[in-house]
């Protein structure tokens, strides 16, 4: 039993990245329009996370009020992930990501990732210098050399919101540049099928999307047959309602349980 619990904590410690993986799942190069955005400040999506049949934690996605970043108005997106009380006794996780994107949703302008996992502490910031097309990465005062940015690059969390501006019905293969400040890659995915599913928050008409995991590390890289499927509503909201991954240590599921501010 303890062996499985420690494997579980490893999966939960990677949940912030798995949630960010949504950003690599549903993206094309289309440009969003202000009046067509399917989200507004005040929206809050809550997910329950399970490993096999064990409730392991919770994740929340929120759109906060518009803020000014370096004199530019920007959307403020937040994702928090935390383990359940049961898992806290073994490996406590309290992660938060703050991401900022321009109001036209064409690029990221700032990114903060605070990870609190067991005894590990990371305080990552990524500054986007679009005058020079560079991203500057810093973790707890330790800087890396800047990397070159592809036009229209998003941080992982902002990219998730960008994908919600895109119609999926005519996209079989979709892609977009995404960066965490250490590398800049083209996230790719396929729309597999349309499917109706039921979760505790309701019944949804969805598209099932599978991301390409070639640029994903951690437990996904170690699993030769790793897969992630994401169910996204087939309406103008394009909300994620279910995430399922299959890796070497078992199956992981995240389900939407609450929607506020819609």
Residues, the chain: 262
- Ordered mean pLDDT values, 10 residues apiece, the chain (262 residues): 30 41 39 63 93 85 95 95 89 94 95 92 95 96 95 91 82 82 87 92 92 55 64 91 72 88 77
Residue 140's pLDDT is 93
**DSSP H or E run through 158:** helix 156-163
Please, which residues bridge with residue 248 across strands?
A: none
Q: Where do the structural domains in the chain lie, given as residue ranges?
A: 2-260
For residues 180 and 162, the answer to whether their CB atoms sit within 8 Å is no
How far apart (Å, rounded) are the C-alpha atoms in residues 136 and 148? 9
Q: What is the DSSP letter of 105?
A: S
pTM assigned to the model = 0.81
Which residue in 8, 1, 56 sits closest to 219, CA to CA? Answer: 8
Residue 171's pLDDT is 65
Residue 34's pLDDT is 43
Residue 226's pLDDT is 62
For residues 63 and 1, the answer to whether their CB atoms sit within 8 Å is no
């Amino acid at each position: 039993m303890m062996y499985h619990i420690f494997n579980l904590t490893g999966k939960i410690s990677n949940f912030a990245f798995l949630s960010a993986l949504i950003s690599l799942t549903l993206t094309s190069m289309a440009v969003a329009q202000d009046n067509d955005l399917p989200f507004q400040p005040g929206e809050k999506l809550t997910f329950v996370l399970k490993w096999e049949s064990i409730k392991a934690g919770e994740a929340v996605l929120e759109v906060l009020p518009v803020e000014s970043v370096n004199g530019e108005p920007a959307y403020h997106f937040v994702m928090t992930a935390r383990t359940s009380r049961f898992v806290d006794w073994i490996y406590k996780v309290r992660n938060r990501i703050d991401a900022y994107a321009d109001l036209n949703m064409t690029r990221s302008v700032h990114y903060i990732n605070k990870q609190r996992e067991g005894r590990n502490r990371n305080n990552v910031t990524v500054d986007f210098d679009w005058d020079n097309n560079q991203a500057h990465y810093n973790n707890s005062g330790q800087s890396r050399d800047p990397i070159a940015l592809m036009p229209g690059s998003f941080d992982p969390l902002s990219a998730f919101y960008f994908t919600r501006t895109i119609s999926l019905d005519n996209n079989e293969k979709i892609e977009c540049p995404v960066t965490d400040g250490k590398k800049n890659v083209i996230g790719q995915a396929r729309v597999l099928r349309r499917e109706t599913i039921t979760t505790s928050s309701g019944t949804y008409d969805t598209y099932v999307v599978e991301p390409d995991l070639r640029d994903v590390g951690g437990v996904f890289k170690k699993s030769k047959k790793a897969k992630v499927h994401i169910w996204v509503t087939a309406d103008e909201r394009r909300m994620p309602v279910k995430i399922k991954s299959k890796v070497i240590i078992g199956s992981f599921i995240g389900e939407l349980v609450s929607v506020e501010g819609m």
